[in-house]
A and B are shown apart, each in its own frame.
Chain A
Amino acid sequence: MGLKAYAFETSIRGALVAGALLGSQTARADPPALGLETIGRLELAWTFRTGNPRGHAGAPAVSGDSIFVLTPFPHALVALDLQGHERWRVVPDSDPRAEGLATGGGVTDGPVLAGGRLYLTTLDGHAMAVEAATGRVAWDRAVASLDAGETLRNAPLVQGGRVYVGSAGDDAGARGWLAALDSGTGRELWRRLSTGPDGEVGIGPQFRSAYPTEAGADLGVRTWPPEAWRQGGGSPGPILADAELGVVVYGTGHPAPWNPDQRPGSNRWTSGLFARDAATGAARWFTPTNPHDEHAYGAASPNLLVDRPWRGVDRKLLVHPDPNGFLQVLDRETGLILSAKPIVPTNAVSGLDAGSGAPVRADAKRTHADTMTRDICPAWTGPVLAEPALSAETGFVLLPTSRLCMDLEPRDSGVIPGTLSIGANVRLKVPAGPAGALVAWDLEREAPAWTAEEPLPLAGGVLATGGLAIYGTLDGRLKALDARSGRSLWEYRAPSGIIGRPVAFTGPDGRAYLAVLAGVGGPLGQAARGGIDVRDATAAGGLANAVRQAAYRDILGQGDESGSLLVFRLP
């Protein structure tokens, strides 16, 4: 780069004078990118109020001069131009029953833009494709069944002409599945479940696990009490694709119900990581991270694909911040765990068994029916709820973490359609010290490079761009840090808490933009809005208990009655 610049400089040495004369004009025509020097000048361009009070997770999609926002349930897909004017709006029919199944605040992810179409999933179980230019609905398929307790939360993954959709509904006792749809027509190509016989799960000759515990026929049935796998949970988390390997990778959710004594066995294939053939859905490998999950952790956290040298060898890595508190680095070709280090204070798991990859659980924090186990760290919500990011400039993985702990008392619970069979009393707790932190993880040293502590847990995704780490907080602060050191560079106070992920883009006018959704909610922000009575410590998955504690109390009642899209611009 330096060499090229030098060559350029010398070649036009003759035109130096002209260059000096034109210099200022050239600078105006080529606006600065978002970076360490420019972030301080970022200013709010406009806001758009969505009119929806629920938690706004995920990120808007951007294409050319359009921004597309999918509001929370009952959804509306809104297309805006870069001045904030509405272009069109699609309001899908909604089934209000989905509200009752919407655990964790019922947040959904934003739309995905691919090939001129927006692909989205709705909480009430539809997958849709919408023409980005006109707002015409190309297709609309009901893929998840509310009657079975299934909803859709995560954004679809669009790759190679296929739309991958994962169900949600572990707490309702729904069997989790991953489905692939044809992106052109919405036709379902295949569907693979997380529990049950090998045929339904997609375990076949391709399946090679790095761990011997995963070998055997019909583990998805035999590791459960009779018939319990039919209500077993294990819904996929965010899905990632590796086109080169031809796989999709995702973590599966926790087994249902929460009470571990109701489901003796290792409860395959819940609470682990799956790699599936992108074309057929056949399983390539499975690595359990919380077999016989006792703390409703699951493994459905957002992951990262990283290609980089590992111990001197170039490897294809999967970075998985497991809900049990350990950041696991896996080889995504085989599923072998290369490294596992705690990223938040943990006591439920003391480490990983090298032979099986299974966590070594601390006896004092195991849970049993009708027995209270106190101060389990981390809480069931896990340390990382939203998308981490790889900072290209530093090589650090930026993890938005939560350090909550919990008291858990599993209780017997049956599956009743239309209800959540959680069957556990749970109280989240704010431990002493900061409740959250942005952790810059150095994969090389397997240790944090720096940690920016936060009084509240972080529930929104991180954006890594131009040497910056940009993220929002539950009390509505949008922050930009220096990704090298964690030094705070810029902060903006939004009207509501932020659980969305900021996106940066360059507009057709060449100016740098930053957009983020504000609207507090989700498993860690739900209690800030009305509708939850925090006098009941177990309300909203136990969040009410945490909200009654000191640091959290300030966000009570601060939720705006409408979420909004904030769009910033460099001058």
Chain B
Amino acid sequence: MNWTFLLAEEAGGLFDFDATLPLMAIQFVVFAAVLNAVFYKPLGKALDERNDYVLSAGSTAKERLAQAESLAAQYEQDLAETRRQAQQIVVAAQEEAQKLSAQQMAEAQQMAQAQREQTQKELDAEKQSALSALEKQVSSLSQALLDKLLSVAA
């Protein structure tokens, strides 16, 4: 019954503790220090720098986006304004044109009316004169007819 096998077994074995243990520990600590110098520090710095870069780039990009958005909004507003103005101009021009055309139409109608009235007057006058002439002729003609009839009868 050898209970001390864990600590000292002369022929090696599975649980053979010896100077390997402390040396491995020291070696590991040294290794960690070396890796800290050649791996964790430089690459960690690179990672942090990239993080900062990405963060700052993201914020500037966000700023620019906001700027572009405000610009776009302003343009939109300007555009709407201009469109409204154009609409107004068009409406005014239309109104004016309508007014003008209505005026001209009215004038033309008036003129036509006047001409028609004058023509009517002239016509009436001519008719009157024609009628009066005719009346004169009727009396002379009837006289002549009477004379003729009388002469035939006589």
A binds B: no
B residues adjacent to A (C-beta < 8 A): none
